[in-house]
């Protein structure tokens, strides 16, 4: 979703400071709404001694929550890379009935509240649900397992890769592919050597945005998972549980770890986009 924000901004040489109040509103609002809450978290984290911080941050239950959160999100990101590319390809290159509808529906996960997503996913993938009842005889349980966490993450991060790739695929010159073909390259060679390289920056950006979204997801996962520690408990739900137990130190430490990782991902996405701009120029 950060695709737009860091595009090159042509800087005007003659700034007109005839409206200073937008600046005042922006700074005041951001101070109260953004900096103050972030500072509150970091200051609270600073009151925990380093030894205690380390002990909470690396406690077995926390490590297991990071594992469920990040490993599942990485798995989801790779699924997104494959199927997101496929969906974008199909939407850009082929014509089929109801294509316009399918294209518009890709954005549904952006618009559908996550609690609704969780509720309907648990209903479809539970043992009595449409898909769940087909998987149960195969011994596959989705709802209330780590697989359910993955399905929820797949749902909410679906649009990112597709939407990142569509405009780039659009601009891709089909002549180049045909040239590669006519020179004897196989379909698979054409894809790996000709199609994929120019898509790579956009693909990675989409994957990273989806990953970031999946790591931070709470609403749909808390509903589809059983939220049992060492089984399918994600970091966000662990923070929530710590807060419910009035364990503010625990919540603060894990929250700080999660925030720092989110910031790292944000920096990574910005670097990716900078790389992508250079690639485009």
Interaction with other proteins in 170-199: which residues (CB under 8 A)?
A: 170, 174, 177-178, 187
* 231, two tokens: 């089984």
Q: Which residue has the tokens 């798995």?
A: 75
Asked if residue 70 binds other proteins (CB under 8 A), the reply is no
Asked if residue 223 binds other proteins (CB under 8 A), the reply is yes
- At residue 40's C-alpha, the angle toward residues 35 and 42, to 5°, is 95
Instruction: Give the binding range for other proteins (CB under 8 A) out of 51-59, 60-68, 115-123, 225-233.
Output: 115-123
DSSP string across 214-266? HHH--HHHHHHS---TTTT--HHHHHHHHHHTT-HHHHHHHHHHHHHHHHHHH
For other proteins, what does the binding mask look like between residues 24 and 53, x meaning CB under 8 A? -xx--xx--xx-xxx-xx-xx---------
Of 22, 50, 60, 137, which one interacts with other proteins (CB under 8 A)? Answer: 22
Instruction: Give the binding range for other proteins (CB under 8 A) out of 17-25, 53-61, 225-233.
Output: 17-25
Asked if residue 59 binds other proteins (CB under 8 A), the reply is no
124 near 151, Cβ under 8 Å? no
Asked if residue 105 binds other proteins (CB under 8 A), the reply is yes
Of 145, 258, 272, 276, which one interacts with other proteins (CB under 8 A)? Answer: 258
Asked if residue 128 binds other proteins (CB under 8 A), the reply is no
Asked if residue 277 binds other proteins (CB under 8 A), the reply is no
How many Å apart are CA 202 and CA 208, to the nearest integer? 10
Of 64, 72, 164, 227, which one interacts with other proteins (CB under 8 A)? Answer: 164
Of 148, 201, 210, 216, which one interacts with other proteins (CB under 8 A)? Answer: 216
Asked if residue 127 binds other proteins (CB under 8 A), the reply is no
Closest CA relative to residue 210, chosen from 102, 56, 92, 85: 85
Per DSSP, the three-state class of 251 is helix
* 134, two tokens: 């087909």
Asked if residue 140 binds other proteins (CB under 8 A), the reply is no
Asked if residue 86 binds other proteins (CB under 8 A), the reply is yes
41 near 259, Cβ under 8 Å? yes
Asked if residue 108 binds other proteins (CB under 8 A), the reply is yes
Q: What is the DSSP letter of 193?
A: I
Asked if residue 77 binds other proteins (CB under 8 A), the reply is no
Closest CA relative to residue 243, chosen from 235, 46, 231: 235
Q: Which residue has the tokens 């400071």?
A: 17
Asked if residue 93 binds other proteins (CB under 8 A), the reply is yes
């Amino acid at each position: 979703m950060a695709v737009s924000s860091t595009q090159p901004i042509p800087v005007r040489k003659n700034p007109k400071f005839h409206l200073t109040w937008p600046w005042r509103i922006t700074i005041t609002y951001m101070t109260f709404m953004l900096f103050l809450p972030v500072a509150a978290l970091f200051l609270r984290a600073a009151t925990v001694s380093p030894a205690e911080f380390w002990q909470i941050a690396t406690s077995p239950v926390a490590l297991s929550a990071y594992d469920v959160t990040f490993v599942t999100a990485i798995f989801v990101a790779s699924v997104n890379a494959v199927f997101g590319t496929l969906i974008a390809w199909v939407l850009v290159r082929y014509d089929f009935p109801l294509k316009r509808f399918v294209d518009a529906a890709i954005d549904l996960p952006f618009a559908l509240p996550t609690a609704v997503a969780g509720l309907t996913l648990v209903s479809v993938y539970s043992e009595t649900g449409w898909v769940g009842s087909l998987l149960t005889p195969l011994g596959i349980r989705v709802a209330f397992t780590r697989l359910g966490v993955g399905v929820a993450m797949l749902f909410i991060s679906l649009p990112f890769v597709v939407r990142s790739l569509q405009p780039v695929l659009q601009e891709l010159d089909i002549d180049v592919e045909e040239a590669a073909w006519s020179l004897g390259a196989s379909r698979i060679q054409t894809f790996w050597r000709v199609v994929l390289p120019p898509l790579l920056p956009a693909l990675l950006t989409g994957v990273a945005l989806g990953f970031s979204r999946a790591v931070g997801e709470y609403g749909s996962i808390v509903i589809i998972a059983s939220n049992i520690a060492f089984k399918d408990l994600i970091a966000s739900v662990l923070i929530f549980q710590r807060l419910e137990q009035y364990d503010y130190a625990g919540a603060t430490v894990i929250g700080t770890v999660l925030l720092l990782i989110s910031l790292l991902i944000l920096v990574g996405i910005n670097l990716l986009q900078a790389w992508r701009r250079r690639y485009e120029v």
